[in-house]
Structure 1
Amino acid sequence: MSKSLPAASNFAEVGLAEALLKSLNEAGYEQMTPVQASSLPLMLGGDDVVVQAQTGSGKTAAFALAILAKLDVTEFAPQALVLCPTRELAEQVAESIRKLAKNMANVKVLTLCGGVPTRFQIASLEHGAHILVGTPGRVLDHLNQNRLNFAKLQTLVLDEADRMLEMGFQDELRAIVAKTPSTRQNLLFSATYPNSIVQLTQQVSKQAQLLKVAETPTQAKISQVFYQLDDTDSAYAVQQILLSQQPQNCIVFCNTKAEAQRITDKLIGKGFSALALHGDLEQKDRDQTMVQFSHGSARVLVATDVAARGLDIAELDMVISVNIAHDLDTHTHRIGRTGRAGAEGLAVTLVGAQDDYKLRLLEDDFAEPIRLQALPTAPSSSKPLQSDWVTLQLSGGKKDKLRPGDIVGALTRDNKLTVQQIGKIKVQSSWAFVTVASSAAKHALNLINNDKIKGKRFRARAL
């Protein structure tokens, strides 16, 4: 089905409330992205939509605005459910919704994901929540234990739906959908549109509007380079590229967990500020890794494709693929991590002998044949990528009424640390993270560990 609506270029034209327009302005949103311009009027009009668009297209803000626009803040019951494939993405989606809801009265957004004790989520559910963001497994667990009541649910969002199907969540999605009201609005977002998504769409909504949004102009600023790997060790090849290019930050994608960990260990051994992200890590270690990389206290992230989607890094200088991804859609997601927000990006692919068939398939999307280049040799004066920042973890968070301003106040109270020496701050439910200049890390730890914040003592440690 399709519907013709007048094109809008800015958020004020679609009838959003002043509180949402103010939040958009404070968050730096200006013109709508193509995804927002095409989907938001339909969603605000109550239509079901299926949106096919690449990572970084602005879809989160689109469905967040649609949810918040019709939220009844006086009704403390779940009115919207957003399902995501990973905890990392769920946390980022929840944070985006909170940011857009900051000028509304008392909007409660709750994440329901694995990797954290259920008892904390049970306590939060008992206090009521307007919007739930979670992973299918944990949401279904709460449903089966009768901890969730969807009687007031108005909106169901399936974010990164293709990824959820790839991860085997078909049965969980079917069971969750069956327990939601039939009168709900359905919003489904997917980077690809295989037959499995067509089938899922039919199960969720038979009258959804299908929107296929072309890649945005910012993605055209990505330069792709392909290097012949031959018999060269992949870890050595990655090292030479990083030394030659000297990016501010970089994600190195690997096809296996073992390869990701091996390359990370090699880079660390050579003096690089590098971290691994893969499925063998405990959830708390994954959370800490994400915070360190996004805060700039680690400059290289070596990851399997668990991080290809949902990792919210506004500016990423470079991505390196160690061999072509298992499928071409995943390759597209990898390179789409760089060159965002209008910045230029570099995507490097290391091509081995086993990649020949996939290289020929990939070449179909290029105007000219792909030219494999010889690996660069880094200048002898090049230094390993190291960070000038350290991330500290505090033993308190939102449940302790801790706010970013409280942490800044604690770090600057003796006038020895400047605001310029304090980087990003992230406050979660039970933990808080603050990134400080390496030269000030020892003093920052002393300030937190030897004094009180808001009358309470907290412990801090460097990650």
Structure 2
Amino acid sequence: MGFTKATPIQELTIPVIMNGDDLIACAQTGTGKTASYLLPVLNYIANNNVHQTTALVLAPTRELAQQIDQQVEGLAYFTGISSQAVFGGGDGIAYEQQRRGIQNSVNIIIATPGRLIAHLTSGVLKLNHITHLVLDEADRMLDMGFSDDIMRIISYLPKKRQTLLFSATMPGRIRNLAKAILHEPQQISVAISKPAEGIDQQVYRLHDQQKTPLIKMILKDGGFQSSIVFASRKEIVRALYKELKHAHVNTAAFHSDLQQSEREEILLKFKNKQLPVIIGTDALSRGIDVEGIDLVVNYDVPGDAEDYVHRIGRTARAATTGTAITFVNDRDLKRLKSIEQLIDRQIPQKELPEELKSIEPIAQERPAGGPRKDKRRRPNRYKGNKPKPAAN
């Protein structure tokens, strides 16, 4: 598969996992963490001649579950080890394929929590032989409200097992989860919340009406081969998609309203370099693992500084280089400051092209949390005695 040297997270975690210890590992996306837990798990299954489901990997999104399943397929190609991705959002045929895989006792199940619980409660799936439990992107799963589902799934597992928790961030709720489900875990942290050194980070100060003209210029004239554009809401994703298509930019919109087959087709074309630009929300920030992405654009500044790290982490993966451009209006200055504090550096500001400087804002933009200029006051209610009605 082209791997010749272990990444730092792999060097640190593989010996711990091989030793049988529980583990809390903190590493950002793009550092090779998937192989860091898959390789030792595959090694255990191969050396112990296992013929039943002994490993369970929980992931927050169906895209990530599918990618992990593809990694298993590649890494275990010559071992005969089997896996099954289990996730919702598909049709009855997909559910039936998942059910058959489960009944055939595949070695590894990679699942999103909700769909896994559906198979557990139906009685089709038994997890009483699990020796390895992996929680991948645990912070994201908690952000998505899967805490109760995770604890419910764990109630089906043997108490004696090896549990591995991987997370890009380590907030208090992750540590509380770790205390509840891990036994005397080893702890490893690598480059917490720091973007890869190979990312050229840039900021443009502008107003909203300058965003779309600027991104058209960047995508058409910047010489980038593979780009992701992040917007804050799917409504913005749709609107921007129409604008770019009208400007003859070959792009696709990736959002939650698409059918599973449509999402898979978009990702496949993007991976195969048949589609140079994807526009999406933060669902893409941890749900896509594609080599060779050379540009990430934050059309909107993310609300959380950690999400900025995950977004721009789509580029400059595996020691490559890339560019990350963020559009910042007046409302987003506080968010930009939070990002710069998190990554411990000031992001260089680029000069807006001359032809865009003359574009005027449609209306005065409101500072985050501030009152609207045209906010109307409610009429005063009567206080005290009401006036007497006029006599007939």
Q: How far is the alpha carbon of 1:59 from its aligned partner?
A: 0.7
Question: Contact 1:218 / 1:343 at 8 angstroms: preserved in 2?
Answer: no
Question: Contact 1:218 / 1:341 at 8 angstroms: preserved in 2?
Answer: no
Q: Which moved more, 1:216-225 or 1:160-169?
A: 216-225
- 1:368 and 1:35 map into 2 onto residues whose CA distance is 24
- 2:195 and 2:351 map into 1 onto residues whose CA distance is 28
The 5 A counterparts of 1:340-351 are 340-351=317-328
Amino acid in structure 2 at the alignment position of 1:111: A
Of the three residues 59, 70, 78, the one matched with 1:84 is 59
Q: How far is the alpha carbon of 1:339 from its aligned partner?
A: 1.3
CA RMSD of aligned residues (A): 2.0
Cα-to-partner distance string for 1:395-415 (whole Å, 9 max, x where unaligned): xxxxxxxxxxxxxxxxxxxxx
Larger Rg: 2
Amino acid in structure 2 at the alignment position of 1:99: G
Q: In the superposition, relative to structure 1, how do residues 367 and 311 fare at CA in structure 2: closer, same or farther (>3 Å)?
A: closer
1:384 matched residue in structure 2: none
Q: In the superposition, relative to structure 1, how do residues 362 and 77 fare at CA in structure 2: closer, same or farther (>3 Å)?
A: same
Match status 1:147 vs 2:124: yes
Question: Contact 1:244 / 1:378 at 8 angstroms: preserved in 2?
Answer: no
2:163 matched residue in structure 1: 186
Higher relative contact order (CA 8 A, sep 6+): 2
Question: Contact 2:220 / 2:249 at 8 angstroms: preserved in 1?
Answer: no
Of the three residues 149, 172, 182, the one matched with 1:172 is 149
Q: How far is the alpha carbon of 1:74 from its aligned partner?
A: 4.6
Q: In the superposition, relative to structure 1, how do residues 233 and 283 fare at CA in structure 2: closer, same or farther (>3 Å)?
A: farther
1:391 matched residue in structure 2: none
Amino acid in structure 2 at the alignment position of 1:275: A
Of the three residues 263, 270, 280, the one matched with 1:286 is 263
Q: In the superposition, relative to structure 1, how do residues 275 and 221 fare at CA in structure 2: closer, same or farther (>3 Å)?
A: same
Of the three residues 90, 96, 100, the one matched with 2:71 is 96
Question: Contact 2:54 / 2:131 at 8 angstroms: preserved in 1?
Answer: yes
- 1:339 and 1:126 map into 2 onto residues whose CA distance is 40
The 5 A counterparts of 1:10-409 are 27-71=1-45, 74-104=49-79, 106-116=80-90, 117=92, 118-214=95-191, 219-365=196-342, 369-376=346-353
Q: Which runs of 5+ in 2 are unaligned?
A: 357-392
Question: Contact 2:10 / 2:36 at 8 angstroms: preserved in 1?
Answer: yes
Query: Sequence identity of aligned pairs in percent?
Result: 34
Cα-to-partner distance string for 1:307-359 (whole Å, 9 max, x where unaligned): 10131111111100012111000001111111122222110000011101112
Q: In the superposition, relative to structure 1, how do residues 191 and 374 fare at CA in structure 2: closer, same or farther (>3 Å)?
A: same
Paired residue secondary structure (2:257):
coil
Q: How far is the alpha carbon of 1:151 from its aligned partner?
A: 1.8
Q: How far is the alpha carbon of 1:240 from its aligned partner?
A: 1.6
- 1:133 and 1:240 map into 2 onto residues whose CA distance is 41
Cα-to-partner distance string for 1:257-296 (whole Å, 9 max, x where unaligned): 1111111111111111101111121211111111111111
Q: In the superposition, relative to structure 1, how do residues 377 and 87 fare at CA in structure 2: closer, same or farther (>3 Å)?
A: farther
Paired residue secondary structure (1:168):
coil
Paired residue secondary structure (1:275):
strand
Q: How far is the alpha carbon of 1:305 from its aligned partner?
A: 0.6
Paired residue secondary structure (2:45):
coil
TM score, norm. by length of structure 1: 0.73
1:422 matched residue in structure 2: none
Q: How far is the alpha carbon of 1:97 from its aligned partner?
A: 1.1
Paired residue secondary structure (1:182):
coil
Amino acid in structure 1 at the alignment position of 2:68: V
Amino acid in structure 2 at the alignment position of 1:80: A
Q: In the superposition, relative to structure 1, how do residues 378 and 42 fare at CA in structure 2: closer, same or farther (>3 Å)?
A: farther
Aligned length: 352
TM score, norm. by length of structure 2: 0.85
Q: How far is the alpha carbon of 1:378 from its aligned partner?
A: 8.7
Cα-to-partner distance string for 1:79-119 (whole Å, 9 max, x where unaligned): 00001111111111011112111121x21111111123322
Amino acid in structure 1 at the alignment position of 2:204: Y
Paired residue secondary structure (2:67):
helix
- 1:369 and 1:110 map into 2 onto residues whose CA distance is 44
Question: Contact 1:324 / 1:358 at 8 angstroms: preserved in 2?
Answer: yes
Amino acid in structure 2 at the alignment position of 1:190: S
- 1:329 and 1:190 map into 2 onto residues whose CA distance is 12
- 2:256 and 2:57 map into 1 onto residues whose CA distance is 23
Question: Contact 2:26 / 2:192 at 8 angstroms: preserved in 1?
Answer: no
Amino acid in structure 1 at the alignment position of 2:71: S
Amino acid in structure 2 at the alignment position of 1:295: N
Q: How far is the alpha carbon of 1:216 from its aligned partner?
A: 11
Amino acid in structure 1 at the alignment position of 2:229: V
Q: Which runs of 5+ in 1 are unaligned?
A: 1-26, 380-463
Paired residue secondary structure (1:220):
coil
